[in-house]
Structure 1
Amino acid sequence: MTRQVLLLNSDKPEVLHALARRPGVTVRVITRPVYAGLYENHETAYVDSFADLTQVERAAYEIAAHGPVDHVIAATEKSVVAAGLVRALLGVPGPGFDQSLRGAHKRAMKDRLRAAGIPVTDYAQAPTLDAVPAAAERTGWPVMIKPVFGAASKCTHRVDSPGEFARRHRAGDFADLADTRLPVQVERLVRFTHEYHCDGVVHGGEVARAAVSRYFLPPLHTSPDLNSGYLADQSDPFSREVLDLHRRVVATLGLPAGVTHLEVFRTEDGPVVGEVAVRPGGMGISRMWWHAFGVDLWEEFVRVSAGERPGRPAREPRAGTVGRSRLPALPGLRARVLALPGVLEVLTPEECASPGRLEAYFAAEDEPAAERFIARLHAMAGHGA
């Protein structure tokens, strides 16, 4: 029997490829008009934004008019809440609206986590950009400000004082945040030594597999051209603490199935949760997992989102650690990086779907060796460590 999958997606080709590998699966799509060319062979309904839930409702009923839907898959962070609404409207199993809201709305997520005793920084929600100073008085300065819905580090700013906020607001520094027309998440700045992420596969409400990785530099402190990191020693006490924290977060949010990307700060008092996303991490993290464990996170995402059991790794885990680094696609740089001992592959901009950037993956003996290797790659790209 053919399974009908409704995919809420933008320009993420990985999930479409994983679905195409499945016999007996028909994919219908809700997306934005700008991505119409990617879905020419699929029944498609369009929305201007996944944040416009009235448009999402209309698109869902438009799709459902052509037959029932068995699974709804949200492939981007912006579509998580929309997918919860669609499941509720169409009676499709999976996370409903409330569950999906807690997996994407930064204040709702942290309300739930804090109530369960999971460490998060102080936070408040400001209804508008102008209300940020009042919210920051409740959290304490300095603060990070960002939209309550958002992916990666977009529209995120550090502000140290009321005076700095006023000056920068007058100068238009926060125009990108104002343009989102969303409430603002105001969070007290976390003083941390390193930033980590824990990625996992969830099935039946339980963590099927997970691993901790460390960013070479925090994403907010580096250019997207040089976003780098490596898998941490999973037996290290801090890694074990993060793995347990990840398990608690999954249980607290009531996530039945999916792939998670949990951001964690390492502080003097222990780990502090930044936020969690219910989708594979970007910046080459999924490919790093493939080289390290023989596990394709996008394939696992489709499996568990479509009600299937997690797959088996393609091979035994690689000894040591595996790292990754984005690099600018400078003339001759790919060939020079490929010549280095330990390099596993270097993807071209076309292969990694990142215009103007390469993605390099390498094996190293341990974490210090991975740090040295990334510093060398950055130096080859003309940037100091």
Structure 2
Amino acid sequence: MTRQVLLLNSDKPEVIAALARRPDLTVRVMTRKVYADLYRGLEVAYVDDFADLTQVEQAAYDLAAHGPLDHVVAATEKSVPAAGLVRSLLGVPGPGFGPSLWGAHKRAMKDRLLAAGLPVTDYAQAATVDDVPRAAEHTGWPVMIKPVFGAASKCTYRVDSPEEFGERHGAGDFADLADRRLPVQVERLVRFTHEYHCDGVVHAGEVARAAVSRYFLPPLRVAPHLKSGYVADQTDPFSREVLDLHRRVVAALGLPFGVTHLEVFRTGTGPVIGEVAIRPGGAGISRMWWHAFGVDLWEEFVRVSTGEPPSRPDRAPRPDTTGRSRLPALPGLRERVLALPGVLEVLTPEECASPGHLEAYFTCADETAAEAFIGRLHETAVPTV
């Protein structure tokens, strides 16, 4: 029996491909008109922005007029609350609007985690950018400021003091954040030694599989084309602590299904949760998982989002350390990197859907070797790094 799926997406090709491989699913789409060419031949309703819930409501009713829906799949961070609203309006199984906020709204998320006794940094919500100093009186300086809805570190700033804030705000440094016209999340800066992420697959409210990885450099400290990392030793005591933290986060959010991307800071007093997203991680993380574990996180995302159990990998995990690195798409660089021992593949900008970037995947003997190899890749790509 064919099931009806409503996909809320932008241009993420992985979920489009995963759904297209499923003859048992008929897909309708809610997206922006700029992505119309990706969905030719499908029933599509357009919105200007998933944050405009009035448009989302009307688009949902327009699509539902073609028949009942069995599943709603939110493939982007912005679309998570919109998908929750659609489920609530149309009576589709899955998280409704309220619970969906816990996976997307930064203050609502932290409220939920804090209530469950999980480690988060001090935070407060500012009504506008102008209101940041008042909120920072609660958290203390220095702070990170960001929109309550957002992804990929966009409109995110570190500010060390009220004096610095006043000077930079007066100079228009936070204009893009102010233009979002959203409340602002103000968080006390976390002093950390390393940043990790734990990615997992959740089915029937339980973590079916999960693994901890480490960023080579935290995303906010490195140019976007050099985002790198590797799968951590899962038997390491800190990795085991993060895996348990991930399980507790899933329980605190009441997540019935999904693929998770939890970011965790390692500090002198233990782990501190950064954020959690209810979708596969970007910048090559899903592909790294495929190389390491034989698991395609986007395929798993589609499976659990449509009520199916996770798949069983057709091979054992790699015994060595698998890593990834984003690199600039410079002439001849792909060929030079492919020639290095241990490189598994290097995707072109077209293959990884990241204009101007390559994505390299490799294996090394252990984490120390992975760190050295990523450093070598960066030196090869940008000698001045």
Distance 1:307 1:147 in 2: 32
Distance 2:383 2:252 in 1: 41
Do 1:375 and 1:384's aligned partners in 2 also have CA atoms closer than 8 Å? no
Per the alignment, residue 223 of structure 2 pairs with: 223
Alignment of 1:146-225 (within 5 A): 146-225=146-225
Any stretches of 5+ residues in structure 1 without a counterpart?
A: none
Per the alignment, residue 38 of structure 1 pairs with: 38
Distance 1:327 1:24 in 2: 38
Amino acid at match of 1:227: K
Per the alignment, residue 84 of structure 1 pairs with: 84
SS in structure 2 opposite 1:350?
helix
SS in structure 1 opposite 2:349?
coil
Per the alignment, residue 311 of structure 1 pairs with: 311
SS in structure 2 opposite 1:307?
coil
Distance 2:278 2:299 in 1: 14
SS in structure 2 opposite 1:376?
helix
Distance 1:76 1:246 in 2: 20
SS in structure 2 opposite 1:182?
coil
Distance 1:289 1:118 in 2: 26
Cα distance per residue 1:219-263 (max 9 Å; x no partner)? 000011000000000000000000000000000000000000000
Cα distance per residue 1:114-151 (max 9 Å; x no partner)? 01110000000001010000000110000000000001
Cα distance per residue 1:316-366 (max 9 Å; x no partner)? 101111000000011111000000000000000110011110000000110
Shift of 1:24: 2.2
Shift of 1:383: 4.1
Amino acid at match of 2:13: P
Per the alignment, residue 69 of structure 2 pairs with: 69
Per the alignment, residue 122 of structure 2 pairs with: 122
Shift of 1:16: 1.1
Per the alignment, residue 352 of structure 1 pairs with: 352
Per the alignment, residue 8 of structure 1 pairs with: 8
Shift of 1:312: 0.8
Shift of 1:58: 0.4
Alignment of 1:293-312 (within 5 A): 293-312=293-312
Per the alignment, residue 47 of structure 2 pairs with: 47
Distance 1:383 1:16 in 2: 37
Any stretches of 5+ residues in structure 2 without a counterpart?
A: none
Aligned length in residues: 385
Do 1:126 and 1:135's aligned partners in 2 also have CA atoms closer than 8 Å? yes
Shift of 1:181: 0.8
Moved over 6 A (4+): none
Per the alignment, residue 248 of structure 1 pairs with: 248
- Match status 1:363 vs 2:373: no
Amino acid at match of 2:107: R
Distance 2:41 2:241 in 1: 46
Per the alignment, residue 25 of structure 2 pairs with: 25
Q: Percent identity?
A: 81
Shift of 1:273: 0.1
Amino acid at match of 1:184: V
The TM-score with structure 2 as length reference comes to: 0.99
Distance 2:135 2:41 in 1: 48
Amino acid at match of 1:11: D
Shift of 1:25: 1.1
Shift of 1:214: 0.4
Distance 2:2 2:308 in 1: 15
SS in structure 1 opposite 2:164?
helix
Amino acid at match of 2:112: R
Distance 1:197 1:264 in 2: 6
Per the alignment, residue 372 of structure 2 pairs with: 372
Distance 1:314 1:31 in 2: 34
Cα distance per residue 1:176-196 (max 9 Å; x no partner)? 111111100000000000000
Amino acid at match of 2:360: A
| CA-atom RMSD in angstroms | 0.7
SS in structure 2 opposite 1:107?
helix
Per the alignment, residue 275 of structure 1 pairs with: 275
Amino acid at match of 1:168: R
Per the alignment, residue 330 of structure 1 pairs with: 330
